[in-house]
Each structure stands twice: as C-alpha cells, then as structure tokens.
Structure 1
C-alpha cells in the first residue's frame, strides 16, 4: 500500500502529538504539546500528515501569512517523518504534495527553519530548491 497525504482537521491535532514528541526528543512533554496545539488550532495553522495503512508516519505544520518581502507565504513547522520510513523518497513526495497544496491556496513561497546541527535536513532542503535567507534568532522571555 502506498502513502497518503492529507490535511487533518484542527480538531484532530491530538493525533500528531506523539510524532512531534518524538521529533523533539521528548524535551517537551506530551501534555505541554497538547496544550500548545490546542492554542494553535485557533490560529492561522493547518497540519499536513503522511499515513500508511491508517498509521501516521509523517507530519508538518503549515503557518499561513502574508510577508512584506514575499507576499502570501507558508512556513513549514515541525517537519518529521518516522525514521523507518526515511530513505525511500517519501520526503521528496511529501514536499511535492505540500508544494502543490500551498500553490492552490495562492502562496508565493514556502519557508522553514531547521536546526543548525541537522546537516541531513540542510542537504535535503537544498536539493528541494530552498535557499538560506538569513538566521533565525530566539530570545526566551
């Protein structure tokens, strides 16, 4: 059976918490993630998932906005595919599906952040046509 790509309803965001928990190496509790996703579902957020035989194997958040330098844009957030499903072209298929989906929604660009030490993701995104625009800074308050 092949992989399926779809947008899930924001009322079903609790389904993705285990994947995002795995992505974050358990640094953020599932309870905190659940709370945050409950807030996010009321914002300009959608969630795309990859499933195979009714099992969620991949996820990314989609934050929609209009940027002064690019126009209508989407920012990918928490992009994750379970390790056992990597290396077979699934990431490339998922990015192609996302690209088509956000184009249909009128987006001019796709943006994302990736951790500095995540070198495999850098190579993947370069191969997908992404360019480095700048640095992402964070200040906790």
Structure 2
C-alpha cells in the first residue's frame, strides 16, 4: 500500500472535515471557517498537530497528536492520540494501522513514555483494532458532559 502521511495544512482542512462527517464519527462538523480559526489556534500549542493520510492523492484517514510535557515521571512526555478516522471506503485495508504506527513512532521520537487514546464504548470494532495494535485497556476513562451536565446530588 503506497500511502503518505503529512501534517495538515490550512488548505487540506476541508478534506479532514469530510472524513469527520462520516456517519459513525460526528453527526455535525464545523464549517470550514470555524475549522480554520481553530486550526490557527492549535498552531499556538507547542506540539499539537493534525495529520492526513493520502493514498493515490485521496484523503483516506486523519488523526490528531498532542505531545504533553509532564512534571511527573521525571519529566517524560506523554501523548494523546485523538480524532482517529479512516474513510469508510478504505477501512480494513491497513490505513489505520499505518497511521497508528506513524503516530507511535512520532511519540517515541519525542521521548514519550506513553501514548493514550480513548474510544466510545459503542465503537467495539475500534477497540479490537487498538488491541490488535498492542494498546491495552488501562484503568477507567471518565468524562462529564459540560454542555448538558447531569444534576449533581445535593449534600
């Protein structure tokens, strides 16, 4: 499989949004203008990059990678892999595997001691995919919906 992976430029944001618009990823996506504004803001982070995988010139996958400095773990960095998407038409063809190998190599080059990602409970195929890559389920992931938070119990 001949595939290239490169950092996303402002010019390729519409392709990333197209990948996000797939039914099993996001119901709604940002407008191109909104995405461009956020992309500019992301550029101010020291090590937060968005990547796009191409095959035969076509956008076939994307992921975001955030490298975080830590005071713990003797200053070793950690990584968060986010927004992993492969085009429906290219699933099961090794695109995700190549993207994750690329991401993990970037993490190693940056001196990360671990790479993390989270996946919605409903994405069982994705869980198997990550396990097959060597990711292990570690602890619990908790979140709180800050848009429609649940009522907190009174004291």
What TM bracket, shorter-length normalisation? Answer: 0.7 to 0.9
Q: Superposed, which structure 2 residues align to 1:26-105 within 5 Å?
A: 26-31=27-32, 32-43=34-45, 44-67=47-70, 68=72, 71-105=76-110
Structure 1, unpaired ranges of 5+: none
Q: Tell me what 1:14 maps to.
A: 13
Alignment deviations for residues 56-84 of structure 1 (CA, whole Å, 9 cap, x no partner): 11100001103435931110110001011
Q: Superposed, which structure 2 residues align to 1:92-131 within 5 Å?
A: 92-131=97-136
Q: Tell me how far 1:34 sits from its aligned partner.
A: 4.2
Secondary structure, counterpart of 1:108 in structure 2: strand
Aligned-residue Cα RMSD (Å) equals 2.4
Distance in 2, matches of 1:56 and 1:13, equals 9
CA contact (8 A) 2:67 2:78 kept: yes
Structure 2, unpaired ranges of 5+: 148-155
Q: Which of the two has greater strand per residue? A: 1
Compare 61-70 and 113-122 and name the one that shifted more.
61-70
Distance in 2, matches of 1:13 and 1:41, equals 15
Q: Computing the radius of gyration over CA atoms, which structure comes out larger, 1 or 2? A: 2
Alignment deviations for residues 20-68 of structure 1 (CA, whole Å, 9 cap, x no partner): 2336333243354444333223224111221012221110000110343
Distance in 2, matches of 1:104 and 1:71, equals 12
